[in-house]
Amino acid sequence: MSEQVNLLELTKVTKQFQSGEQKLEILKDANLTIFPAETIAITGPSGSGKSTLLGLMAGLDRVSTGSISFEGQSMQDWDEDQLAQWRRKHVGFVFQDFRLIPSFTALENVALPLEIMSVPAKEANRKAREILQRLGLGERTHHFPHQLSGGEQQRVAIGRAYVHEPDIIFADEPTGNLDPNTSSSILDALLSLHQNLRTTLVMVTHDHDIAQQMSRQVSIKDGQCRIANKGMLSSEGGQG
Ligand SMILES: Nc1ncnc2c1ncn2[C@@H]1O[C@H](COP(=O)(O)OP(=O)(O)O)[C@@H](O)[C@H]1O
Ligand SMILES: [Mg+2]
């Protein structure tokens, strides 16, 4: 019997922010396990801590208390350089507002993560071109972001997130700025790359229909992660 290694494991994660004199406790003893190659939706009301949770899991921010481990290694033990290195290699991001570099072409935007990893330019461009083609943007490689529609810009951003074949993609409301038709094409793009590359996909979404297409749904309530399965709500963690 081979034991499955968890990709990410959050144990009693608490995150507080100081707001003037007040301490805001956004996450409180939250537990969550993320498995390799799964798709998971994070839902919850505005301000419930979805982006905060994503930032912690992606190593962009630090927990106040508790721990997060990646493949069994505690991220708290890493310094900023180690965290940044881990992010570059293992993580991809997709944001609601695309965040492409305006002065870079689609190809240059997508090739950037590879160049940061010191992949030679020729190889980086080849991979970037290939993924843009898969995303239906083969004719748009030399376009700048302002010459692309919202949906096209988001597909470029998806190419950039996947190009270095990370273990995990974090998408924070990736369809939040897009109309329903475009949203469904963005979801298709994310899911098709997920299926091809077996990358774990963690997606924050307000859209119930989109959440239903992920293999698991987690909602944040009272600072904790609740697993929603087949209409049943239960709190993860606690008793074994
Ligand atoms: N850096 C910060 N400093 C202070 N408060 C913050 C900070 N980041 C987030 N918050 C607060 O934490 C709460 C949760 O934010 P967020 O995770 O962005 O929620 P969501 O993504 O679910 O809408 C909000 O009330 C927000 O104002
Ligand atoms: Mg948010």
CB-based neighbours (< 5 A) of ligand 2, an ion: 50-51
Computed over every residue of the chain, the mean pLDDT equals: 93
Residue 240: pLDDT over 60: no
The two tokens of residue 90 are 């293992």
Residue with tokens 């965040």: 99
The pTM assigned to this predicted structure is: 0.92
Tens digits of per-residue pLDDT, 124-150? 999 999 999 999 999 999 999 999 999
Q: 85-106 burial, b if ≥16 CB within 10 A, otherwise e?
A: ebeeebbbbbbbebebeeebbb
Q: Which residues contact 188 (CB under 8 A, 6 or more apart)?
A: none
Residue 169: pLDDT over 80: yes
Composition of the chain by helix, strand, coil, percent to 5: 35, 30, 35
pLDDT value, residue 228: 84
Q: What angle do CA 105, 116, 126 make, to 5 degrees?
A: 55
Would you tell me which CATH number, out of the four given (3.40.50.300, 3.40.50.720, 3.30.2310.20, 3.90.1170.50), belongs to the domain 38-55+79-235?
3.40.50.300
Most ligand 1 atoms within 8 A of CB, residue of 15, 26, 61 to mutate: 26
Most ligand 1 atoms within 8 A of CB, residue of 23, 24, 170 to mutate: 24
Atom of ligand 1 lying closest to residue 172 CA:
21
Atom of ligand 1 lying closest to residue 44 CA:
22
Question: Would you list the domain boundaries of the chain?
Answer: 38-55+79-235
20 or 154: which carries more pLDDT confidence? Answer: 154
Q: Which residues line ligand 1 (CB under 6 A)?
A: 17, 19, 24, 26, 44, 46-52
pLDDT value, residue 3: 60
How far apart are the C-alpha atoms of 5 and 73, rounded to whole Å?
A: 11
